Chains A and B, each alone.
Chain A
């Protein structure tokens, strides 16, 4: 078991290292900018916030920039993590099946004594490589970075946020996986999946406090809140469970669709 996952996972190591390095650099950039930003604004920092267009601050979950926690929750985690990394996982998952089908490699894989369900699940599992790399390295970088600039934040909150965002990212990947079995061209699957994640992200943030708030319930971003975790140390475990089930449902859907399809 897991031969395919191991094989695919090995070939994701380089990409995962690159993504981790990029995200770590991105985090450090944000963290090192903060002291200058905070000191130049003095106590009036949240006045700047009032000058933000409301839609923009809602979209990126900007609640307060007066503390390092609020700053990172919005600038780094809501924008960088939930949106960018979310799209990265959806995009990566979208090519899992579609690229092999598109390049006629799926015939070779399915000629092996493996079930289609196993192919889908193991390909999905191979995404654990970038997921674990990002989730293990970036929190350490963030915690050490904030200590280095003398605005330390609670390590447990950072770790908790990363743990809670794992089911969020697997859900994004699940959306990509479904796209990957729906389309037999990788580029279309990737664009669709990335579009869906971006759409759901903005739908949720922009619909909050409107009559259409309920619509945002289908967005994975509804179920992970960096501000609550970092600023209030509130860990919404129930929401994480929702995302775990969403992931399982999406993978299950991808398996059902793939089992029924003709490989062309």
Chain B
């Protein structure tokens, strides 16, 4: 059974169609990232799932319970943890009183344990809390009753980098315990680390849902290469190369350097399954530090590469490569590609 199943969910605010026929499912034990820029409609979906507003059409189930049936949804809420985008608590009371109220209604068997990871100043009034402390209090209340599903809207906003890392590690451990997590984000780097699958929302419509690896694979690598000579973007005119941009500088070589040509210090870490004996590439001998020094102009090109890596390597082999970086395309790029593609 899916932990969360959204079917044709539509929310029309009149002036904006915040969710337009959104359909997806989150399996039990999965960490699902709901991605999109601000204003895409992520919070609308989440607040509808929590029953704070009713869908214009379509519907959803959480843990098998219908979100449009209040008493059914209440049964589900006993097993759901929720963290809103900007958790807001009664400012006139202490964090302890807030947690006491929550515990009295939904239980708090994990409260003490969670307070070791996320430690807001419980005996201070919420009014005195920093944004990060409010977020920590929100995280504790979301997990304290040991829920089966946790729904979080932009959970790491407001956390400092150290707490973000603690949060990521925490979510990974929770997932291993079997927790299902549905979280939204517009900060892609955080999602990449913790999510199994993502759905991308744009202007209220779900553009895609896929495994994060597939997404990264499909969207390719980010390549930065420096080659000897004055070459134009056409030098990399092969299948799967996008958005080439090149710039040439005069003589990258410090004085006295000579080029032996041929050998290049490859830092490429790509490990695509080679589908042929193409690789005319023997491991570079010599220390990694001695980059080839070339006389004359050096061209630096950057592009996104979604094709067969062997083709790229073959093409690069035709030139004297001074330096090469291949890395996974940052999710921001991935994002832009989605929007770019679909906007056209």
Chain A interface (Cβ < 8 Å from any Cβ of B): 3-4, 7, 11, 103-108, 110-116, 259, 262-264
Contacts and interface: CB of A to CB of B under 8 A. Distances in A.
B105 A113 contact: yes
B238 interface: no
A110 B70 CA distance: 11
A104 B47 CA distance: 12
A111 B88 contact: no
A111 B82 contact: yes
A111 B50 contact: yes
B186 interface: no
State the 10 A-B residue pairs at the shortest beta-carbon distance, nearest first. A262-B53, A111-B82, A104-B88, A113-B77, A3-B104, A263-B52, A113-B78, A112-B105, A7-B101, A113-B74
A183 B106 CA distance: 29
Given A110-B50, A262-B53, A115 B74 contact: yes
Interface of B: 47, 50-54, 70-71, 74-75, 77-78, 80, 82, 84, 86-90, 92-93, 97, 101-102, 104-106, 141
A107 B104 CA distance: 18
A104 B52 CA distance: 11
Given A113-B106, A114-B105, A115-B71, A108 B88 contact: yes
B84 A107 contact: yes
B70 A107 contact: no
Given A113-B77, A264-B53, A104 B84 contact: yes
B50 A113 contact: no
Task: Kindly name the residue among B54, B92, B105, B106 whose own CB sees the greatest number of chain A CB atoms within 10 A.
Answer: B105
B1 to A, nearest CB: 20
A77 to B, nearest CB: 33
A114 B90 CA distance: 18
A264 B54 CA distance: 11
A111 B77 contact: yes
Contact of A11 (B50, B93, B104): B93
B58 to A, nearest CB: 15
Nearest to B79: A113
Contacts of A115: 70-71, 74
Contacts of A114: 74, 105
Given A7-B101, A11-B93, A263-B52, A108 B74 contact: no
A11 B78 CA distance: 26
A262 B106 contact: no
A114 B80 CA distance: 12
A82 B74 CA distance: 40
Nearest to B86: A104
Contacts of A106: 52
A3 B105 contact: yes
A159 B250 CA distance: 100
B90 A262 contact: no
Contact of B88 (A7, A105, A112, A259): A105
